[in-house]
Amino acid sequence: MSSQHVKRVDLIFEKIECRDVLKKIVDMEPDAICQELLESDLKGRGGAGFPTGLKWCFTASEKDPVKYIVCNADEGEPGTFKDREILDLVPGKVFCGMAIAGKAIGAKMGYVYLRGEYKFLIPKLNEELKKFHQTMDEFNQNFRIQIRLGSGAYICGEESALFESIEGKRGEPRNKPPYPTKSGLFGKPTVINNVETLVHSVMIMKYGASHFKELGTKDSRGSKVFSISGDTPKAGIYELELGMTVDEFVNDFGDGDTKAVQVGGASGFCVPRKKFEETIIGFEGVPTGGSMKLFNSTRSMYNVLHNYLDFFTEESCGQCTPCRVGCQQLLKGVEAVKRGEKNSKYLDELVKLAKTMKRASKCGLGQSVGNAFGSIVENFKEEIIY
Amino acid sequence: MVNLSINGMLVKVPEGTTILDAAKKMNFRIPTLCHHDDLCVAGNCRVCVVEQLGAKSLVAACASPVSEGMQILTNSLKVRSARKHIIELLLSEHNADCTKCYKNGMCELQNLSNEFAVGDHIFIDLNTIKDYTIDRFSPSIQKDDSKCIRCQRCVRTCEQLQGVNALTVAFKGDHQRITTFEDLSMAEVICTNCGQCINRCPTGALVERTYLDEVWDVILDPTKHVVVQTAPAVRVGLGEELGLEAGSRVTGQMVSALKRLGFDSVLDTDFTADLTIMEEGTELLTRLKKALVDKDPEVALPMTTSCSPGWVKFIEHTFPEYLPNVSTCKSPQQMFGALAKTYYAQVRKLDPKDVVSVSIMPCTAKKYEADRPEMRSSGFKDVDYVLTTRELARMIKQAGVDFNKLKEDKYDSIMGVSSGAAVIFGATGGVMEAALRTAYEIVTGREVPFEGLNITPVRGMEGVRQASVMIEDCKEEWSFLNGVELKCAVAHGLVNARKLMNGVKSGDIEAHFIEVMACPDGCLGGGGQPIPTNEEIRRKRTEAIYAEDMSMEIRKSHENPEIIGIYREFLGEPLGHKSHELLHTHYTKRVRY
Q: Write down the ipTM of this complex.
A: 0.95
Q: Mean pLDDT over residues A289-318, rounded?
A: 97
To the nearest whole Å, the CA of A304 is away from the closest chain B CA by: 19
Residues of chain B with Cβ-Cβ distance to A324 below 8 Å are 93, 150, 173-174, 176
pLDDT reading at A238 higher than 90:
yes
Identify the band that residue A1 occupies on the pLDDT scale cut at 50, 70 and 90: very low
pTM equals: 0.95
CB atoms within 10 A of CB A218: 11
Tell me which chain B residue has its CA closest to the CA of residue A312: B173
Distance CA A261, CA A341 (A): 30
Residues of chain B with Cβ-Cβ distance to A313 below 8 Å are 173-174
To the nearest whole Å, the CA of A104 is away from the closest chain B CA by: 28
To the nearest whole Å, the CA of B65 is away from the closest chain A CA by: 8
In terms of C-beta density within 10 A (0-12 exposed, 13-18 middle, 19 or more buried), how is residue A230 classed?
buried
Contact B86 A332 (CB under 8 A): no
pLDDT reading at A47 higher than 90:
no
> DSSP assignment of B317-338, as one string?
HH-GGGGGGB--BPPHHHHHHH
Testing the interface with B: which of A175, A334, A350, A363 to mutate, by most B Cβ within 10 A? Answer: A175
pLDDT reading at A351 higher than 90:
yes
To the nearest whole Å, the CA of A357 is away from the closest chain B CA by: 8
pLDDT reading at A99 higher than 60:
yes
Identify the band that residue A15 occupies on the pLDDT scale cut at 50, 70 and 90: very high
Nearby residues of B490 by Cβ (< 8 Å), 6 or more positions away: B428, B429, B432, B458, B464, B465, B466, B467, B514, B515, B516
Count how many residues are written for chain A.
386
Q: Which residues does residue B207 pair with via DSSP β-bridges, in sequence order?
A: B142
To the nearest whole Å, the CA of B86 is away from the closest chain A CA by: 6
The residues of B annotated as belonging to the active site are 280, 283, 307, 327, 366, 369, 374, 523
CB atoms within 10 A of CB B370: 26
Q: Which residues of B touch A (CB under 8 A)?
A: 41, 43-47, 49, 57-58, 60, 63-65, 78, 81-82, 85-86, 89-90, 92-93, 122-124, 126, 129, 149-150, 152, 168-169, 171-176
Q: Which of B60, B81, B150 has its CB closest to that of A324? A: B150
Single-letter residue type at B404 = N
Count CA atoms within 13 Å of residue A26 on its CB side.
15
pLDDT reading at A3 higher than 60:
no
Q: Which of B93, B126, B173 has its CB closest to that of A314? A: B173
Q: Which of A317, A320, A336 has its CB closest to that of B172? A: A317
Regions in chain B scoring below 50 on pLDDT: none
Contact A175 B93 (CB under 8 A): no
Tell me which chain A residue has its CA closest to the CA of residue B41: A175
Cβ-Cβ pairs closer than 8 A, A with B, add up to 116
Q: Report how far Cα A15 is from the mean position of its chain's Cα atoms.
A: 23
| DSSP at B175 | G
Percent of chain A with pLDDT over 70: 99
Q: Which of B46, B64, B89 has its CB closest to that of A329? A: B89
> What average pLDDT does chain A have?
96
Distance CA B471, CA B484 (A): 5
Per-residue pLDDT of A204-234, as tens digits, reads 999 999 999 999 999 999 999 999 999 999 9
Distance CA B226, CA B476 (A): 46
Testing the interface with A: which of B34, B85, B95, B127 to mutate, by most A Cβ within 10 A? Answer: B85
Per-residue pLDDT of A48-75, as tens digits, reads 899 999 999 999 999 999 999 999 999 9
pLDDT of residue B121: 78
Identify the band that residue A374 occupies on the pLDDT scale cut at 50, 70 and 90: very high
Residues of chain B with Cβ-Cβ distance to A332 below 8 Å are 124, 126, 129
- Whether the CB-CB separation of B86 and B46 falls below 8 Å is answered with yes
pLDDT of residue A2: 45
pLDDT of residue B116: 86
The SS3 assignment for A88 reads: helix
Count how many residues are written for chain B.
593
- Whether the CB-CB separation of B272 and B414 falls below 8 Å is answered with no
The candidate with the shortest Cα–Cα distance to A116, out of A73, A77, A158, is A73
Tell me which chain B residue has its CA closest to the CA of residue A353: B85
Q: Which of B65, B123, B152 has its CB closest to that of A329? A: B123
pLDDT of residue A4: 65
